[in-house]
Amino acid sequence: MLRAARGGARRLLRGELAPAPAPAPAPAHRRLPPRLCLPRRLLHQAPQPAAPPPAVGRWLLACSGAVAGAVVLGGVTRLTESGLSMVDWHLVKEMKPPRTQQEWEAEFQKYQQFPEFKILNHDMTLPEFKFIWYMEYSHRMWGRAVGLAYLLPAAYFWRRGWLSPPLKGRVLALCGLVCFQGLLGWYMVKSGLEEKPDSYDIPRVSQYRLAAHLGSALVLYSASLWTGLSLLLPQHKLPETKQLLRLRQYAHGTTALIFLTALSGAFVAGLDAGLVYNSFPKMGERWIPDDLLAFSPVLRNIFENPTTVQFDHRILGIASITAVTALYLCSRKIPLPRRTRMAVASLLAIACAQVGLGISTLLLYVPTPVAATHQSGSLALLSAALWLMSELRRVPK
């Protein structure tokens, strides 16, 4: 074998043996055109996650509508002074209302042990108590329905695999916030049930807790609406010009101002500040009232002085309508899609209507229908601002 190998090597060197033939080229019909030969790094990239189905976006929009209903119903409950009629809180037990005369009398006797009855409603009859009790009961039951509207579909969509990883985080945060909202509501009600021997004021919930309750509801509403719009509305591929960037920044700032104005309304409601100066544009006979800084230290006036709270709400409202008008005028100088122009025009129209409702509420001494419409208008204005922000959002690269 060794001699044969050596002989073969000698013959190869002399050229007697031909080298092994090269592999035949692939037939023409099996070759890929150059434009289909992708780089290897692109062939190994992970596939892009599928977009959530439209049902997820519609669900979030429906949830935002349910939250809006809870906010409006809560405002009516506050205006009718019904929020302290239910003096305890049970997640399941209180879902069954009183039915017999004895059950209603027992519920009424529990209410009579707390400050609101002793100071404000000491001559209330049982039929009158039933009205305010059903108002608060409706608000609480609506809140439980909102919780189920978030939790049950979220579990279903999660199990079906319709939620992308970033969307799972948002949905978890929304579900956690809606549960927190229920606990915060009872924490707010408890502040109005506490005995205050040194105070002769009308029993009411803490304006700080009321603002926290409303603020968390507005955050829940805004996050749900924004996410739903982001999933359902196709993004516009707008040229990233300086004018568009400036308009987008103005829209963000205006939305923040509208949110702050709506939140300041919680302090107006909590302190009954709408009944202090019922004139416009002046407050009484002066532009700046004498008792604007009556409390000490000065910082207390912003949150505890009804005069200052109403003054601040007026200033924020005027600033909001001014910002919306400026935003509309700036948008006229930029070529925008039709749907975006509709959002800007809707924002201006709702802002004008909201200012009119606010002035009417003040001049008419806060009638419940007008005041409730004014509170609802704040949600409509915030919705239009969020819609405009969604229209102007940047297309991801």
pLDDT the model gives residue 196: 76
pLDDT the model gives residue 394: 76
Domain ranges for the chain = 52-232, 234-397
pLDDT the model gives residue 227: 96
pLDDT the model gives residue 7: 53
DSSP string, 249-315: HHHHHHHHHHHHHHHHHHHHHHTTGGGT---SSSBTTBSS-GGGG-SSSTTHHHHH-HHHHHHHHHH
Residue with tokens 């919680």: 266
| Nearest Cα to Cα of residue 141 among 78, 203, 200, 185 | 185
Separation CA 277–CA 283 (nearest Å): 6
Q: Residue 384 burial (CB < 10 Å; 0-12/13-18/19+)?
A: buried
pLDDT the model gives residue 49: 59
pLDDT values of the chain reduced to their tens digit, one per residue, 397 residues: 445 445 554 554 454 444 445 555 555 444 545 444 445 544 444 455 567 889 999 999 999 999 999 999 999 999 999 999 999 988 887 788 999 999 999 999 999 999 999 998 999 999 999 999 999 999 999 999 999 999 999 999 999 999 999 999 999 999 999 999 999 999 999 999 988 766 667 888 999 999 999 999 999 999 999 999 999 988 878 788 899 999 999 999 999 999 999 999 999 999 999 999 999 999 999 999 999 999 999 999 999 999 999 999 999 999 999 999 999 999 999 999 999 999 999 999 999 999 999 999 999 999 999 999 999 999 999 999 999 999 998 755 5
Separation CA 306–CA 312 (nearest Å): 10
- Read off the pLDDT of residues 26-79 as tens digits, 9 standing for 90 and up: 554 445 454 444 455 444 444 555 678 899 999 999 999 999 999 999 999 999
- Read off the pLDDT of residues 222-262 as tens digits, 9 standing for 90 and up: 999 999 999 998 887 878 889 999 999 999 999 999 999 99
pLDDT the model gives residue 241: 87
